[in-house]
Amino acid sequence: MSAGTVTPGTGTGPRFVSRAAGRGRVTFVRVLNAEWIKLRSLRSTFWVLVAAVFLVIALGVLVCIGTVNRWPNTSAAEKARLSAPNASLTGLYLAQLAIGVLGVLVVTGEYATGSIRATIAAVPHRLPVLWAKTAVFGVVTFVLMLGACLVAFLSGQAVLAKENIDVSLGDPGVPRVVVGVAVYLAVTGILAIGIGAIVRNAAGGIAIVFGLLLVLPEVVRALPSDWQSRITKYLPSEAGQALTRWHPKGDELSPGAGITVFVLYAAVTLAVAAVLLRRRDA
């Protein structure tokens, strides 16, 4: 039955010595591996990621087809405003919601089912769990979204080529946009993990993610215009998406500054989550 050995002890009975004694230290690489197993072993995760990939590609192609169809009747001013790379990556707006929801669920799913207690019992230092979840989900999201963005970009440009309004990956600023969308989505996922770890409740976490990405910009739009112009560019979604715009709108942060602000939002959220994870009872 036992894998260990029984040795005669000095006390009343035998002293148990586990065969595994002295081995099996918890290392960060091992925790990463555990989180990777967890991420890939949930069907829901798989399907949400498939949905996100599909949304990025399908919506991009759809918008490009619409653009081409309307092109003969499009005004010159509007034609000048077209960003060919961004048109093929419109799926970002839906994919961010899928990724945000999944990021929240990666953490809150553990609290809802009680599996967080098994997780923390295995890694009592706790913080490696948060970092590993962040790393695994961030990398998986980035890799998948980068692939989806490339496919969306290439197929979208192929559609736009009918009217000769396509751009190529080699054009200035284009690689930054394609990679930028994947970066933005991965950081959105990480931000969502932090939010999930703070509120520990799926409904609350998803509401906050939607609030940040969708509602907050609308609320700010209702403010007096001089406030608006000062605040809008610092909102998480606006700042992050600065990296993804081929032609800057003018009143926004530079791509570099924008993504830095967005990463800071995610970092602060994770830091708060880390402090709470250490301090709170599981």
Partner 1 sequence: MIKADALTKRYGPKTAVEALTFTVRPGIVTGFLGPNGAGKSTTMRMILGLDHPTSGTVTVNGRRYADHRAPLHEVGALLEAKAVHTGRSAYNHLLSMAATTGIRTRRVREVIEMVGLDEVARKRVGGFSLGMGQRLGLATALLGDPATLVLDEPVNGLDPEGVLWIRTLLKSLAAEGRTVFLSSHLMSEMALTAEHLIVVGRGRLIADTSVADFIRNAVPNQVRVRTPDADRLRALLFGPEVRVTGRERDVLEVTGVSSDDIGRLASAHGITLFELVPQQASLEEAFMESTRDAVEYRVPEGVSARVAGPARRRGGEVA
> Which of 26, 45, 51, 37 minimizes the C-alpha distance to 108?
45
Check binding of 13 to partner 1 (CB under 8 A).
Answer: yes
Residue 14 binds partner 1 (CB under 8 A): yes
> Does 37 participate in binding partner 1 (rule CB under 8 A)?
yes
Q: Is 248 in the site for partner 1 (CB under 8 A)?
A: no
Angle between helices 92-113 and 174-199 (to 10 degrees): 30
Q: Which residue in 10, 25, 73, 80 binds partner 1 (CB under 8 A)?
A: 25
Q: How many other CB atoms are found less than 10 A from the CB of residue 214?
A: 14
CB 125, min distance to partner 1, A: 7
Least spacing, CB of residue 277 vs partner 1, in Å = 12
Site for partner 1, residues 81 to 120, rule: CB under 8 A:
109-110, 113-118, 120
**Least Å distance between CB 111 and partner 1?**
10
Sign of CA dihedral 240, 256, 251, 233: positive
> Mind giving me the DSSP string for 117-131?
HHHHHHSTT-HHHHH
- Compute the Cα dihedral for 61, 64, 68, 73 and give only its sign: positive
- According to DSSP, residue 17 is labeled E
Does the protein bind partner 1 through residue 38 (CB under 8 A)?
yes
* 134 backbone φψ class: left, alpha, beta (φ>0; ψ -120 to 50): alpha
Residue in 4, 66, 175, 256 binding partner 1, rule: CB under 8 A: 4
Q: Does 80 bind partner 1 (CB under 8 A)?
A: no
Which amino acid is present at 231? Answer: I
Nearer to partner 1, 22 or 72 (CB): 22
Q: Does 20 bind partner 1 (CB under 8 A)?
A: yes
Residue indicated by tokens 């970066």:
183
Contact 148, 53 (CB under 8 A): yes
Sign of the torsion angle spanned by Cα atoms 212, 213, 216, 217:
positive
Q: Which stretch binds partner 1 (CB under 8 A): 36-44, 88-96, 145-153, 251-259?
A: 36-44
Binding mask 119-158 for partner 1 (x = CB under 8 A): -xxxxxx---------------------------------
Pairing of the two strands 5-7 and 15-17:
antiparallel
Measured distance CA(103)–CA(29) in Å, rounded? 21
Q: Smallest gap, in angstroms, from Cβ of residue 141 to partner 1?
A: 19
DSSP state of 114: S
Verify binding: residue 6, partner 1, rule CB under 8 A.
Answer: yes
The answer to whether 3 contacts partner 1 (rule: CB under 8 A) is yes
Specify the residue, 16 or 227, whose C-beta has the smaller distance to partner 1.
Answer: 16
Our CB check for partner 1 shows the closer of 31 and 270 to be 31
Catalog residues that contact partner 1 under the rule CB under 8 A. 1-4, 6-7, 9, 11-27, 30-31, 33-35, 37-38, 41-44, 109-110, 113-118, 120-125, 279, 281-282
